[in-house]
Structure formats: C-alpha cells, structure tokens
Amino acid sequence: MGLKPATNPDVEAVRIELSIDGKSVTAQDGVSLYDVISMTGKIIPAMCYHYTFDPFGSCGMCLVMQEGKKAPVRSCTAKAAAGMVIRTEGEDLFLARKKAVEKHLSVHPLDCPVCDADGHCELQDMAFQHGVTNLASAKQKFIPEDTRSPVLDFNMNRCIACAECINVCKDVLMIDALQFMKKGGFNQVVPKGDLALDCEFCGDCLAVCPVGAITNKFSKYLYKPWQMKTTTTTCNYCGDGCQLHLETKDEEVVRVTSPLSWKNKWGDRSETAKGHGGLCVRGRFGFENLDSKSRLTQPLVREGGQLVQKPWLDTMDLLVGRFTEIKRQYGADAIAGLVTARCTNEELYLFQKLMRTVFGTNQLDSSARYGHMNFVLASKHAVGLGRTPNDWEDLTKAKAIILIGSNITETNPLTAVRIKEALRVYKAQVVTLDSAITNIAKLASHPFLIKPGTEGAVIDGLVKAAIDQDFVDEETVGKHPHAFEALRSAVADVSLERLAVQTGLSVEAFCEIAAIFAESTRSIILCAEGIVRRTNGYQNVLKLMDLAWITGKLGRTGCGVNTVTEEPNEQGAVDMGVAPEFFPGQARFDDPAARDRFARAWEAPLPPTASSAHLVEILKRCKSGQIKALYVLGENPLATLPASMEVRAGLERLELLVVQDPFLTDTAKMAHCVLPACTYAEKDGTFTNLEGRVLRVRQAMDPLGESLPDWHIMTALANAMGCRWEYQSPNDIQAEIMKLLPGYYNLSQPRTVTPVPDQYLSTGYETEVKARYRPTPLSGELTRPFALLMGQVLMHSGKLSTQASGLITIAPNTGKLRMNIQDMERLGLQDGVKVRLISDRGSLQLGVQPDQSIAPGTCFFPEHFNEPPVKDLMTVSVDATTGVPSFKQIWVSIEQV
C-alpha cells in the first residue's frame, strides 16, 4: 500500500504541509492521513486501525471531508499530501460514521450478556457514542463457533471484519496464521486453510480484537472486564521483561492482557522499535500457576521420612537452630546457597547478603550460571561491561543481525519480534546460524544450517574470513596493532575449507556473512543458548568480540555482541552479586577496595575469597561432605542437571537441605524443610531484563495461604540468626541498593555504557588469543550418528511453566523424541514408534515424532520435561574459566525397539 512508516533511519522523508480543521500541520510525506490527524491530538473513531501495522480500511469510521471531494474519504487509507484541506468534524461526518456503525451493528448478534468483551468493546463504544437507536433491518449470521483450537475460540457472529487480528499476525508478528474466508455468505476470519488454529498462540489477535469475536478459552465466560483489578507488572517467564497486565478478580488471576490492545491504537509508529506491547503464549496464557492448587501454602518439615505441615514459627525455630548448630560445629563453609533468577532484584540482593554476612559463606550461585555467566564474564573481561550493550531499539534498527546458536522465537519470542520488525520495516539483513531449522531462519534473509556443536568453528571461520577478505576496520585495529597481529597469527592456521567441511557452511558463505556484518553500518551479533550454554561458551563469546572488534563494530552506536537470557532476572542476579565472583554492581569479590566498601556498608566481616564456590563446585562439595547445609531458593538442580552430576547423592549427604519455593519441586521433595514462597504476582520488586532495563514487579494479589515473599522469609531468617535487618518492604531493600549502586534504578531506561576493549587488548591479549583459535579435531566416522539436543520450546520456560495448566494444555509433554522426517524415513520409523536412545551415559526407550524444525542428523527433546529422563543421557562439561556446566548436547544412536 506504500504506507510504510517513514521512520526508517535511512530514509529522510519530505516534510509537507496540509490543513486540518483550519490549522496548518506539517507531516512526513506518504504517511497515512489518519496518522497525521491523530498526531495533532485529534482522535477520529476507527475500529480497524492500529498504529503497529499498516491501515487496512475496512470499518469505514475514520471518515473526513477533503476539500474538492464530494463524499467523505477514509482517512486511514488516504495518504497525506501537500496542500490537502481536511475537515474532521461536522454533522454530515457524524451521520456518515453513524451509518458505518449501523452497518456493523445490523449483523451483530444480541450477545452482550454473555460476551467476554462486553464493557471492553469498541463496537459498543461506537454505538453508544453515536447514539444508534432503532436499526432498520437487523440480520443475524448464525455461524457456528470455532472451538477447535486449544486456546482461542472464534465466534464469527461477533466479528466486524476489521482484520486487525489478521494484520497484527501477518505484519507485526509475521506468523500469518489467520485469513479471511468467505463462508456462509459472510467474510470470516479463519485459521489458515480453515484448519484448527496452530500457531505460536501469542494471543495478540485476541488483544487487538475490538469485539468479542476471538475469546480466550482459559478465561472464557469467567469474567466481565469491569470486575477486574488490573495490575501492571513484568512477565516472569523469560528475559525479555515484557510488561503485562494481570487481571485479578477476588483472589484469582482471571486473565493476562498486554499493553497492546485495540484500546490504545493511537501511537507513533516509530515507538514500536522499543517493543510493540504484545506478549507471547507464556505471558498471556501461562498464568494459571499463580493460583494453582499445587502451590505450597504451609511450611513442610521432614519428620520420619515424611514431609509434614508445620506452622511457620516452629519451622523457623527449627531452621535457625539447625543453621546455628551447623555453623558452630563445621564452620561457615559448611553452608551454601542457590537461588533462582526468577526472584526480584531485591530478593537476590538480600540472598547474597544473607549468605555472605549472616552465614558468612561465599558459596552461593544463581541460575545465571547455567549460561548467562559465560557471556557476562567474557563481556566483562573484554569490554568491561557485564551485560548486553544494545537494547531493543538498536536491535530493531540494525542493518545486519547475526543470530548464532539461537532459536530466538522459541526462547525469547518478543526479542524475536524485534528482529522481525528489523526485517520488515528496516530491511535488515538477518543471518541465522543454527543447527535447527528455526522459525526465524524461515524469515531471515540469510538462513544457514550448521552442523550441531560447530558454533565455535563457525566463528573461527567468520574471523578468518573477515581478516582474509580484508573486512578489517583499519582505524580500529590500528590502535592496537600488536593485538591484531596476535589475532592474525592465531587464525593463520585456520583453514576455511576444513571449517566448511566441519560446519556444513560453504567457504563463500563465511565470506558473505563476514561481508554483511562488516559492511553494514549497524551490525549486531546475537548469541544465545547455542553459544553460552555449550562447551567453550566463554571462548566463543570472546571470539565474537574479536569479530566485532576487527570489523570496528565494538563500541559503535547500534552495534555490539549481545545475548538473551532465559530467566527473567539472570542479569539482575549478576548485577546483585549472586555469584561467588561478584559483589553487587559486578564489583570483583577479591577486589580489596570493594571488599572494604561492602564490609563497611553491611557492617559485617566478609567471608574469605579462598572458599568461594560456584554451582558445580557447591554440588561437588555437597557430595564430598564438605557442605553440610544447602539453602535452595527456587532452584531445582535435581531436575535440571543430568544424573552424571550426581546431584541426588550430593543432596542426600546434606545434613540440612532447605528449599524455598512456591511449588513442591523435585529438589523440595528431598528437603528437610520446605518453605512456601510467593510467586511474582504476590510481591513487589524489580526485574532487570536482558537489555539491562530495571522493570517494576507489582503485587497483584495477597499471598496464597501462608506463603510469604522470599524477602520476608530471608529477613525473618536473618533476624532470627541474630542480625538486625529492618526491612519492612522491598522499598527498604531498594533504598539500600540505591545507596550502594547509585543509578541502578533508572527504571525502564537502559543505561548506556559504551564498551571499551582497550584495556583488554593492550594487556595480555596476545597470550590469550593464541589458545583460542586452536582447531578442533575433525570427528571422523561417528559411532553415534545423531546429535541429541535439549532446549527450550516456545510454550514453556524452565520447569515453572509446567505448573501452568494452560501451557500444558497447549503443549503437553508428549514424551517423544523429535526427529527430522527424513531421518525417520531412513530409519523406517513411524510417528509414535518406540526407539532406544543410546548415549555414552546409558540408554532409554521413548517414542519418536516428526518435527519440521529439526535438522537432519539431530534430534530434540524439550528440557522442560524429565519424563522420560532424557537429560540423564547427557554428559556435563564444565567451562574452565567460568564454571558453567554445559549439558545440552550429546551424540547418540537411535535403534528401533
């Protein structure tokens, strides 16, 4: 339609002048007239318009009078042109709009009493505003309701054919799961091909539907919009940190709505670069765990091999006694703690303070250790910045994006939407390098399929290609000639041809990717689980830094090496110092100045650096009997780590295992004492998302049963242990963090820090880089031909989402191994056939199912489910520098049973 927003940074749109209601207005050429009018603050009713996508022009409400034309024109589909004289008000226009409403009303059923949208319905608003009474001829449609999809019901009797759902799906999300179809004499919205809806189920169509034509199955008929209490909070599922509205009625969460809604349809199109306000399936439909029946509501204490309910007072008394006893008997180093990155910043801060000052141990870690620490430590080492340098806006406006080892539409769906917008609006070149046929690869301009586990080799190739093809930015490398020389000699032995065989990419592909990356003005690398959660993650991130450095992208606006986080607050966990290496603010734990500062601030002696231990080390020490008491806050190492880690044996040796969790997890079942914690809906606080933005978490309901927020429990514990912590609310903790880390709470504003690699390049780089590009031996004839990968799927996040019944309905645990259809045919396997999966660690039997996103030679099992325990086939390799355990990939063979 040619009405693309003129917000592309490369395009300088012509300014034109036109007159609206007698006032002269300047606007960009070629944008929709409707946008220009709404920019002046004048709101014309429109039912099919939404600023996130191009005007469609079906509702016929946005009529304006243009001088020189007899009939009113639809302002949304009209382009603003110089010299236009527009009138937006008047009796004639009111009547014309009224007629348009009447047209929609005349085929609308009398459904208000039962419709979920009643009270939040644009058609109602319009009819009421325009005073429609006495329709001449009303005709009903009588279309059967489409209830085939597990999530959404389509009631096409109520549809006004505004196509907002189709447009948002096609344009913004690029999923294209809906279409119009003429059926029964009416234009109806149906899932593609009129089959049962099968899509990403992000529910943005539901959000933009101005009437009740699309309804949510999980809250259908349970509510009316006016009954709900709305709390704006931050999503708890992934690191995107989407804002969402939890709508509660009494003490239950009825539904989740997004800032994206037909209600706020007037906006600046360029603002969507910061996010379009939508949600993904997890955020929108994964709310049922919040008030689920399986929540813990009372403390549990192990008595005679059984966990029995106990009052808080007795439990705390017992706990304090045991902790004091263990500390007295074995010393502070007998205590360790693990925390999940799903806690708020305040709680994470409190946790490390509790471990370090109250228990006096530096054996603590968070779930950021499962991968994000690789990136943080590498980035901190190289450029002095322990987080991602770019925000969503940079990502959207990038001209070249290399997505390496990232199935981003599944792990971080809303970051993926940013990349989709980069593709669609800003015409970015997107290179995907992954061993699976990912969703984003289908949309990307340069999708490449690589062999599993060769991400590191691919980067070697890219660095080599960049140097060989002279994509080197002379100015940048000129500042550190020795470093560049060291790098050049390090990659001298690297052979692109050999890498091509190893990775499955062609030599030309290496050169092409390097060219795309180097020649774009705004280039971003996004590495995710394929890099940071696999072996050599730390080195691979540093290699990416090298690539960015030599091409001159390090430190330049809109460029950088980024990652995404799996849990909502992994960045916050690192920032709050829940890692043996770090104090809050990522100050080194062994830095005497920092030690001094924090010891004074906390008025307590700090544990020595020598006994520090990270996750893997803690589990090892548990097993060796060195650690006697483990305080596990929301973490679930037993269900996460493969059996080869011998977590169970370690936990069994403990004298005291305390688990604090909203649910009775596998780890909690082994605990001596289980404390019921609250979910994020029941507490205040903040999350730090993957951009480094600090986002508010707000309390939407009272704690369920006798559960308490984590900060409350920790404060009580610390006070019982003889400290004087006077935190009355998360605000008090925030105040303390603010004092220690000034400027951390710049709420919703990402802090802009330019990455500076100079220190890194000038000292020690030469020795370091030599070892980095050592070629990995070519794997010869494989005894085990398949790469078994474990990873996230879109509908789930960690183990938490398995408690959300809605998400389980959408994506239940099939218990089947996902394989490429060609592989299955080759092995003669049918869907559902049982196979034996054999790795070096052992074997198990399970069914197989075909999956289009699985590349030949690989097979996949979602990491969220342990039934069957596929994870136990994995071996664990621990990164020497960062201590990150990687256990998501292994070679297996598959035999039909």
Partner 1 sequence: MSVVALTKKILQAALFYEIWDAMKVTFRHMLHRPMTFQYPREQRTIPDAHRGALGLLRYDDGHERCVGCDLCEAACPSHCIKVISAEDTTRPLQRYASEFYIDITKCVFCGYCVEACPVNALAMTKMYEYSTHDKRSLLFDKKRLYDIGERHLDDGKKYLYAHNQEKNVEQSREYRYYFPQSVQKSTQPPPKHLS
Partner 2 sequence: MAFEDQRTTVYKVNPEHPESETLPTLRTEELLLNMGPQHPSTHGVLKVILELEGERLVKSTPVMGYLHRGVEKLAEDGTYHQFIPHTDRLDYVCAMYNNFAYCRAVEKLLNLQVPERAEYLRTIVAEVQRIIGHQFWLSAQALDIGAMTVFFYCFRDREILLDWFDELCGARLTTSWYRIGGVERDLTPSLIDKLKQFLDYFLPKIDEYQVFLEKNRIWLGRTKGVAVISAEDAVSFGLSGPVLRGSGVDYDLRKYEPYSAYPKCEFSVPVGKNGDTYDRYWIRVMELYESVKIIRQCLEQMQEGPVMADVPSVTLPPKERVFTNLEAMIQQFKLFSQGFDAPPGEVYCGTEAHKGELGFYIVSTGGGKPYRLKIRAPSFIHMGAFDHMARGYMISDACTIFGTYDIVMGECDR
Least distance in angstroms from the C-beta of 243 to partner 2: 25
Only one of the segments 82-90, 137-145, 443-451, 715-723 lies at the binding site for partner 1 (rule: CB under 8 A); that segment is 137-145
Q: Which amino acid is at 780?
A: G
Q: What angle do CA 432, 434, 437 make, to 5 degrees?
A: 90
Report yes or no: 513 and 465 within 8 Å, Cβ to Cβ: yes
3-state secondary structure of 76: coil
Closer by beta carbon to partner 1, 156 or else 811: 156
Rounded to an integer, what distance in angstroms lies between the CA atom of residue 152 and that of residue 149? Answer: 6
Binder of partner 2 out of 6, 112, 500, 740 (CB under 8 A) = 112
Closer by beta carbon to partner 2, 43 or else 492: 43
Closer by beta carbon to partner 2, 132 or else 604: 132
Closer by beta carbon to partner 2, 227 or else 329: 227
Chain residues 137-196 in contact with partner 2, contact rule CB under 8 A? 138
Least distance in angstroms from the C-beta of 109 to partner 1: 4
Closer by beta carbon to partner 2, 124 or else 432: 124
3-state secondary structure of 602: helix
Binder of partner 2 out of 12, 24, 142, 226 (CB under 8 A) = 226
Rounded to an integer, what distance in angstroms lies between the CA atom of residue 622 and that of residue 756? Answer: 40
Least distance in angstroms from the C-beta of 130 to partner 2: 9
Least distance in angstroms from the C-beta of 227 to partner 2: 9
Which DSSP symbol is given to 520? S
Chain residues 401-430 in contact with partner 1, contact rule CB under 8 A? none
Q: Where are the alpha helices (DSSP H) in 183-340?
A: 204-208, 281-285, 312-330
Binder of partner 2 out of 13, 39, 93, 135 (CB under 8 A) = 135
Least distance in angstroms from the C-beta of 232 to partner 1: 23
Binder of partner 2 out of 4, 42, 99, 224 (CB under 8 A) = 224
Least distance in angstroms from the C-beta of 227 to partner 1: 6
Binding partner selected for residue 131 from partner 2, partner 1, none, CB under the kind-specific 5 to 8 Å limit: partner 2
Which DSSP symbol is given to 613? B
Binding partner selected for residue 223 from partner 2, partner 1, none, CB under the kind-specific 5 to 8 Å limit: partner 1
Rounded to an integer, what distance in angstroms lies between the CA atom of residue 782 and that of residue 769? Answer: 30
Chain residues 199-258 in contact with partner 1, contact rule CB under 8 A? 220-224, 226-227
Binder of partner 2 out of 83, 131, 743, 780 (CB under 8 A) = 131
Closer by beta carbon to partner 2, 104 or else 623: 104
Report yes or no: 418 and 410 within 8 Å, Cβ to Cβ: no
Binder of partner 2 out of 2, 83, 91, 133 (CB under 8 A) = 133
Report yes or no: 538 and 882 within 8 Å, Cβ to Cβ: yes
Closer by beta carbon to partner 1, 115 or else 319: 115
Chain residues 89-108 in contact with partner 2, contact rule CB under 8 A? 105, 108
Question: How many other CB atoms sit within 10 Å of the CB of residue 553?
Answer: 25
| 128 binds partner 2 per the rule CB under 8 A | yes
Report yes or no: 799 and 517 within 8 Å, Cβ to Cβ: no
DSSP states of 564-585 as a string?
A: --SSTTHHHHHHTT-BTTB-GG
Binding partner selected for residue 722 from partner 1, partner 2, none, CB under the kind-specific 5 to 8 Å limit: none
Least distance in angstroms from the C-beta of 134 to partner 2: 7
On the 0-12 / 13-18 / 19+ scale of CB atoms within 10 A, 424 is middle
Only one of the segments 71-79, 126-134, 371-379, 569-577 lies at the binding site for partner 2 (rule: CB under 8 A); that segment is 126-134
| 263 binds partner 1 per the rule CB under 8 A | no
Binding residues for partner 2, total number by CB under 8 A? 22
Closer by beta carbon to partner 2, 113 or else 305: 113
Q: Output phi, psi for 571, to 5 deg.
A: -65, -40
Report yes or no: 413 and 202 within 8 Å, Cβ to Cβ: yes
**How many CA atoms, within 13 angstroms, populate the side-chain half-sphere of residue 15?**
3
Binder of partner 2 out of 110, 222, 649, 753 (CB under 8 A) = 110
Rounded to an integer, what distance in angstroms lies between the CA atom of residue 864 and that of residue 638? Answer: 13
Report yes or no: 544 and 527 within 8 Å, Cβ to Cβ: yes
Binding partner selected for residue 105 from partner 1, partner 2, none, CB under the kind-specific 5 to 8 Å limit: partner 2
Rounded to an integer, what distance in angstroms lies between the CA atom of residue 839 and that of residue 832? Answer: 21
Instruction: Answer positive or negative: Cα dihedral of 402, 768, 888, 497.
Output: positive
Closer by beta carbon to partner 1, 180 or else 223: 223
Rounded to an integer, what distance in angstroms lies between the CA atom of residue 753 and that of residue 401? Answer: 21
Rounded to an integer, what distance in angstroms lies between the CA atom of residue 194 and that of residue 47? Answer: 25
Radius of gyration of the chain (CA): 29
Binding residues for partner 1, total number by CB under 8 A? 25
In this structure, the dihedral spanned by the alpha carbons of residues 454, 459, 461 and 464, taken in order and rounded to 10 degrees, is -160
| Helix axis angle, 710-720 to 345-353, nearest 10° | 20
Which DSSP symbol is given to 333? G
Contacts of 531 (CB under 8 A, 6+ apart): 374, 375, 404, 405, 406, 455, 456, 537, 540, 541, 544, 563
Contacts of 132 (CB under 8 A, 6+ apart): 98, 101, 102, 105
3-state secondary structure of 511: helix
Closer by beta carbon to partner 2, 104 or else 712: 104
Binding partner selected for residue 220 from partner 1, partner 2, none, CB under the kind-specific 5 to 8 Å limit: partner 1
Beta bridge partners of 309: 300
Binder of partner 2 out of 13, 39, 93, 132 (CB under 8 A) = 132
Least distance in angstroms from the C-beta of 428 to partner 2: 44
Least distance in angstroms from the C-beta of 250 to partner 1: 9
Q: How far is CA 264 from CA 214, 239, 885, in A?
A: 18, 25, 45
Q: Which helix (H) or strand (E) holds 482?
A: helix 481-490
Closer by beta carbon to partner 1, 252 or else 473: 252
Least distance in angstroms from the C-beta of 105 to partner 2: 6
Binder of partner 2 out of 134, 728, 767, 783 (CB under 8 A) = 134
Binding partner selected for residue 556 from partner 1, partner 2, none, CB under the kind-specific 5 to 8 Å limit: none
Rounded to an integer, what distance in angstroms lies between the CA atom of residue 22 and that of residue 14? Answer: 22
Binding partner selected for residue 127 from partner 2, partner 1, none, CB under the kind-specific 5 to 8 Å limit: partner 2
Chain residues 143-202 in contact with partner 1, contact rule CB under 8 A? 143-145, 147, 155, 157, 184
Pattern 80-119, binding to partner 1, x per CB under 8 A? -----------------------------xxxxxxx--xx
Binding partner selected for residue 124 from partner 1, partner 2, none, CB under the kind-specific 5 to 8 Å limit: partner 2
- Contacting residues toward partner 1, per CB under 8 A: 109-115, 118-119, 140, 142-145, 147, 155, 157, 184, 220-224, 226-227
- Contacting residues toward partner 2, per CB under 8 A: 105, 108-110, 112-113, 118-119, 123-125, 127-129, 131-135, 138, 224, 226
